[in-house]
């Protein structure tokens, strides 16, 4: 049946989109780790991979948008779904931008900061990894969305705390650094932190969307 064919193609596109976002943040984590450990070649590969995934996510989002409008699917919740996809696309956009900032600005990061920044990246990626199943759940079991997004908020809060600790460490303990270097470190800590902030935005949106579906 044509109706189900269209629906299946949209479902496949949405699933692929989520997978792309998931893969994107994992590449982001790998990229940051490679940069911190000085694996330039691997880092370059991560950058190329990230650019491709981000472009794929954009294309998928547009494809889903076109299909939803062309086949008049879900007129009541279409607006919400498109907003959700846009917000999720922002996650991979932010991750890509951050990785490119590392490549462009080549920040000087002292080795003793590596573990802290890797942990911060891990927290941010965990918040995104938690929001993706919640987004998937919205489509099948909206009543379980709320149970899933509390993990996003937890990781986001942890990332905030960690970012704060890193900034304190940079400005209070690392006296050997120049002020410009401290600023640069703070700047990159903020960059990484924004990934979890975008995940939190998606979680907020999902929470409202799930309530709307249950009404």
Partner 1 sequence: MFFFFITSGLFLGWSLGANDAANIFGTAVGSKMIRFRTAALVAGIFVIIGATLQGSGTTTTLSQLGSVDALPGAFTVALSASVVVFLMTKALLPVSTTQAIVGAIIGWNLFTGHSTDVKILSTILATWVISPVIGAVFSACFYILLRALLKKLQIHLVVLDVYIKWALIIVGAFGAYSLGANNIANVMGVFAASAPNVVIDMGIFRLDGLQVLFLLGGVAIAVGILTYSKGLMMQVGNGIMALSAEAAIVTVFSQAVVLFVFSSTAFSEFLQGIGLPPVPLVPVSSSQVIVGSIIGIGMIKGVNEIKFKTIKGIAYGWVLTPIAAGLLSFLALFFVKNLFNLNVGTAVDVAGATADMAATAGAAASETTRHINLIWPGISLLVLVVLSSVITYSFSQQRKRLATEKELLEREKETNIARQALTDAGVRAAQTENLHLQNEIENKRRDLINYAMNIVEQKEYFGKIAGTIKAILSEKRSESRDEKLRKLELDIRQRMSFADKVEDFNIRIERMHKDFIGRLVQLNPDLSPNDIRLAVFLRLGIASKEIATLMNISPKSVEINRYRLRKKLGLDRGANLTQFINNI
Ramachandran category for residue 72: left, alpha or beta (phi over 0 → left; psi -120 to 50 → alpha): left
Q: Buried b vs exposed e over 144-162: b needs ≥16 C-beta within 10 Å? A: ebeebbebbbebbebbbeb
Helix and strand numbers (H, E) in the chain are: 6, 0
Stretch that binds partner 1, among 52-60, 98-106, 133-141, 150-158 (CB under 8 A): 133-141
Q: Using the rule CB under 8 A, is 18 a contact of partner 1? A: no
Among 70, 104, 179, 215, binds partner 1 (CB under 8 A): 215
Among 74, 82, 174, 177, binds partner 1 (CB under 8 A): 74
Q: Are 24 and 96 in contact (CB under 8 A)?
A: yes
Q: Using the rule CB under 8 A, is 75 a contact of partner 1? A: yes
Q: 69 vs 183, which CB is nearer to partner 1?
A: 69
Among 26, 42, 51, 77, binds partner 1 (CB under 8 A): 77
Q: How many CB atoms lie within 10 A of CB 80?
A: 17
Candidates 35, 50, 45; CA nearest to 111 is 35
Among 139, 146, 186, 201, binds partner 1 (CB under 8 A): 139
Q: Using the rule CB under 8 A, is 70 a contact of partner 1? A: no
Residues forming the site for partner 1 (CB under 8 A): 3-4, 7-8, 10-11, 14, 72-77, 81, 138-141, 143, 213, 215
């Amino acid at each position: 049946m044509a109706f189900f064919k269209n629906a299946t193609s949209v479902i496949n596109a949405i699933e692929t989109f989520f997978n792309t976002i998931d893969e994107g943040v994992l590449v982001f984590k790998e990229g940051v780790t490679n940069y911190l450990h000085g694996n330039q070649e691997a880092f370059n590969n991560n950058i190329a991979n990230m650019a491709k995934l981000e472009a794929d996510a954009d294309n998928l989002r547009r494809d889903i948008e076109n299909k939803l409008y062309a086949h008049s699917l879900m007129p009541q919740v279409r607006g919400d779904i498109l907003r959700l996809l846009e917000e999720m696309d922002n996650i991979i956009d932010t991750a890509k931008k951050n990785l490119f900032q590392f490549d462009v600005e080549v920040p000087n990061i002292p080795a003793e900061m590596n573990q802290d920044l890797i942990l911060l990246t891990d927290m941010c990626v965990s918040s995104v990894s938690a929001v993706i199943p919640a987004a998937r759940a919205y489509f099948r079991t909206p009543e379980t969305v709320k149970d899933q997004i509390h993990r996003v908020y937890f990781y986001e809060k942890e990332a905030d705390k960690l970012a704060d600790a890193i900034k304190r460490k940079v400005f209070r303990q690392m006296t050997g650094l120049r002020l410009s270097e401290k600023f640069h470190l703070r700047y990159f800590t903020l960059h990484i932190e924004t990934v979890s902030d975008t995940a939190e935005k998606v979680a907020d949106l999902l929470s409202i969307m799930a309530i709307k579906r249950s009404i």
